[in-house]
Amino acid sequence: MTLPANHFIAIAGNPNSGKTTAFNRYTGARQHVGNYPGITVEQKQGYAHLDGIEISLVDLPGTYSLTAYSMEEVVARRVLADDRPGAVIDVINTGVLERNLYLSVQMMEMGIPLVLALNMMDEAKAHGIEIDYKQLEQNTGLPCVPMIARKGDGLDEALRSAVELAKKTNGRIKPLELSFGPDIDAALLEMTPIIEEAKLLTDRHPARWIATKFLEADEDVISLATKADRATTEKLNKICSKVATHLNTTAKTYPEAIIADYRYGWIHSVLSNGVLKGADELMERTVFSDKLDLVLTHKVAGPVILIAVLYAMYFLTIEIGNYPLEWINSLFDWLHRSVGSVMSEGPLNSLITDGIIAGVGGVLSFVPLIMIMFMFLAVLEDSGYMARVAYIMDRIFRLFGLHGASIMPFIIAGGIAGGCAVPGVMGARTLRSPKERLATILTAPFMTCGAKIPVFLLFVGVFFQDNRTSVLFLVTLSGWAVALIVARILRWTIIKGEPTPFVMELPPYRYPVLSGVLIHTWERTWQYIKKAGTVILGISILLWAAMTYPGLTDEAKDNYISQREVVYNNSALTDEQKEEQIVEINNTEAKDSLDCSLAGKVGKAVAPLTALSGFDWQTNIALIGGVAAKEVVISTLGTAYSLGEVDADASEALADKIKKDSHWTKANAISLMIFTLLYSPCFVTLMVIKRETGKWRWTFFSLFFNLALALALSTVAYQMFK
């Protein structure tokens, strides 16, 4: 091809959409028919003249899809990938717009600049179909031209748009990255970097597109990949079969079906908000979903139902979860007491009872509650309702300078409850605009992730017995409110820029499969337990050591020993009185020892900073530990309380200890909940922020900005409620 790329245009489309008619009108006699090298699929090539320039045209074989099921599809795809036309005129039979767009989406996923030529407008009009082109252009981001190929209407406009587009884009646009739901998205996120790193076919296709093809079990791509790099191909296939098995067991479906569903979901929303009028056919495929959506995503009813659903979820979680919570608490009580009494006094005893059982036990005791919450979450996700949540929130998000696609990262980070900021921050990759992506990354950690939830549950249980659900609900809403306000401020100040348009994908509703819900629930719960047994265990031991050593000086110890001797030898006291006084002395000694431990010193050093927020230095230790992982807030409070008191009830649940401790008031609890919700993201999240933004600057921003914000707001709260 000697012509510059922007003078080489391909015509693509479904069979019988009018491609050849258009091609013949463009090229007249200047065409020749040949076979695509090595394959007996007819291919027409020719030249058109427009505004004094010569344009080379190719008429691609008609296909409904680009999945390589047929030779036609393989050829169409190879021409698009290898010959690289500057742009493609996508000839569409407007009467069946939805089905025709299925091919367009796939070309957009390949990163090919398209002009949507809405052909057969005469027929469409006769059928009463009307189209709002401006809206369609906005929704797709593509130029749209009405056309009647048989009469020659719109042909020049389409070609002119294509040449302009080719000039502007140089033959490549940023590939459309659709979300295909949590399971497929996770696999894509895992596969894409592998493909990029191995440079597997990336000279021809976008990495994410290749990954999608692997998941669609595309033989053409997989065989090309095997030839290029067998080891990497095998690695990718392994990930694919894992997802495939998972989808089969949890949802009785397979990746291709899900991917197709989401593509249609996208098309569906592209055609919504008034683009298309009078096309009954469009409504057939998803009648049930549509009817449901009329209510569930209704402007007024939608948000009301959403709030009701979330409230119900919280209510049920807390009400049902309270029973197992008490059982587990008494189990750990018993464990603490028996281990404590079986083992002889000493550092090892203290490590196991105060460090491990009180620390990790505090985290584990919330497993049943968390599990119930995860179960509701799985139902919301598997049914397709979660996508609607995003849809409903979209309007609100725009007001705050975020993108509609920011919602999924928020939800993954714990927007509903019990997520994790790490995949949340990574999920922001689906955002195209770097600025909106950055704003999303920096605000997603304000959500109520699974590690923060135990803190809220603990204090809600102690101080808000009568309206636990409302308070927990309020905490979640506060997370959203702060995230949105901070995003707004960031988008007005350091991350300024215009919002980009967004089209929401709505997959059809499905009945959740019970086994699927159970598996999803268990997967998340197991993650939680595993983390408690590994990372949190490790940090608990470290913090126990920091709270125990260097300990009291010998002199101080001797002082307590002699105090006890005085009590023993005092014949004026009854045995009961003696015991009482000894416990008193023991407690003072324990507090004293915690005082002069390493952690005690650190906790006290920052005490002036946190005094206005109502945190004592034990809480400070817990909060500092919480930067390592948020679960540590609970485990450290558990250890601190366990170390600080050695009376007969030392082993009772943390909640009971806090209830009895007169230093703890509602104001402290509110302040601590606000602080925990908002302060610095945990260590892993900070590292992921560095990796995703590529800059330490944003890691430090998250660390210090969030800390300052949390401190300020918790201070205000404490001073207000004190």
Binding site for ligand GDP (CB under 6 A): 13, 15-21, 62, 119-120, 122-123, 148-150
Which strands sit side by side in the sheet containing 87-93, from one edge to the other? Answer: 31-35, 42-50, 53-59, 8-13, 87-93, 114-119, 144-146
User: Backbone dihedral region of 171: left (phi > 0), alpha (psi from -120 to 50 degrees) or beta?
Assistant: left
Nearer to ligand GDP, 146 or 181 (CB): 146
**Tally: H helices and E strands in the chain:** 35, 9
148 binding partner (options ligand GDP, Mg ion, none; Cβ < 5 to 8 Å by kind)? ligand GDP
501 binding partner (options ligand GDP, Mg ion, none; Cβ < 5 to 8 Å by kind)? none
Q: For 199-215, b where at least 16 C-beta lie within 10 A, e where not — what string?
A: ebbeebbbbbbbbbbbb
Nearer to ligand GDP, 127 or 398 (CB): 127
CB of 18 to ligand GDP, least distance (A): 3
Q: Where does this chain bind Mg ion (CB under 5 A)? A: 19-20
Nearer to ligand GDP, 155 or 590 (CB): 155
CB of 126 to ligand GDP, least distance (A): 9
Nearer to ligand GDP, 122 or 580 (CB): 122
CB of 23 to Mg ion, least distance (A): 8
Q: Give φ, ψ of 657 to 5 degrees.
A: -65, -45
CB of 79 to ligand GDP, least distance (A): 15
CB of 76 to Mg ion, least distance (A): 12
Paired with 55 in beta bridges are: 48
Element (H, E) at 48: strand 42-50
Q: Give dist(CA 384, CA 181) in Å, integer.
A: 9
CB of 15 to Mg ion, least distance (A): 7
CB of 96 to ligand GDP, least distance (A): 12
Nearer to Mg ion, 91 or 243 (CB): 91
Burial of residue 320 (number of CB atoms within 10 Å: 0-12, 13-18, 19+):
middle
CB atoms within 10 A of CB 319: 12
**Residues 559, 564, 565, 570: is their CA dihedral positive or negative?**
positive
Element (H, E) at 400: none
362 binding partner (options Mg ion, ligand GDP, none; Cβ < 5 to 8 Å by kind)? none
Nearer to ligand GDP, 20 or 202 (CB): 20
- Render 693-722 in DSSP notation, one character per residue: HS-HHHHHHHHHHHHHHHHHHHHHHHHHH-
Q: Give dist(CA 104, CA 89) in Å, integer.
A: 10
Nearer to ligand GDP, 19 or 468 (CB): 19
Q: What is the CB-side half-sphere exposure of residue 256 using CA atoms within 13 A?
A: 11
Q: Give dist(CA 710, CA 680) in Å, integer.
A: 8
CB of 63 to ligand GDP, least distance (A): 10
Contact criterion met (CB below 8 Å) for 92 and 17: yes
Write the CB contacts of 234 (distance below 8 Å, at least 6 apart in sequence).
Answer: none
Q: Tokens for 369? A: 């509650």
Nearer to Mg ion, 63 or 548 (CB): 63
Nearer to Mg ion, 91 or 159 (CB): 91
Q: What is the CB-side half-sphere exposure of residue 649 using CA atoms within 13 A?
A: 9
SS percent in the chain: helix, strand, coil, step 5:
70, 5, 25
Nearer to ligand GDP, 77 or 468 (CB): 77
CB of 19 to Mg ion, least distance (A): 5
Nearer to Mg ion, 23 or 617 (CB): 23
CB of 42 to ligand GDP, least distance (A): 11
CB of 123 to ligand GDP, least distance (A): 5
Nearer to ligand GDP, 148 or 709 (CB): 148
**Residue nearest Mg ion, CB atom distance:** 20
Nearer to ligand GDP, 18 or 508 (CB): 18
Contact criterion met (CB below 8 Å) for 195 and 233: no
CB of 211 to ligand GDP, least distance (A): 31
Q: Tokens for 121? A: 């407008």
Q: Is 303 helix (H, G, I), strand (E, B) or coil?
A: helix
Nearer to ligand GDP, 99 or 432 (CB): 99
15 binding partner (options ligand GDP, Mg ion, none; Cβ < 5 to 8 Å by kind)? ligand GDP
636 binding partner (options Mg ion, ligand GDP, none; Cβ < 5 to 8 Å by kind)? none
269 binding partner (options ligand GDP, Mg ion, none; Cβ < 5 to 8 Å by kind)? none
Contact criterion met (CB below 8 Å) for 260 and 216: no
DSSP 432: -
Nearer to ligand GDP, 21 or 618 (CB): 21
CB of 285 to ligand GDP, least distance (A): 23
Burial of residue 315 (number of CB atoms within 10 Å: 0-12, 13-18, 19+):
middle
DSSP 58: E
Contact criterion met (CB below 8 Å) for 12 and 107: yes
CB of 56 to Mg ion, least distance (A): 18
Nearer to ligand GDP, 158 or 166 (CB): 158
Longest dimension (CA), the chain: 123
CB of 3 to ligand GDP, least distance (A): 23
56 binding partner (options Mg ion, ligand GDP, none; Cβ < 5 to 8 Å by kind)? none
Q: Give dist(CA 283, CA 289) in Å, integer.
A: 10
Alpha carbon separation from 117 to 17, 240, 255 (Å, rounded): 10, 36, 31
User: Backbone dihedral region of 386: left (phi > 0), alpha (psi from -120 to 50 degrees) or beta?
Assistant: alpha
CB of 122 to ligand GDP, least distance (A): 5
Q: Is 549 helix (H, G, I), strand (E, B) or coil?
A: coil
Closest CA to 335 of 661, 658, 653: 653
Q: Tokens for 11? A: 């015509």
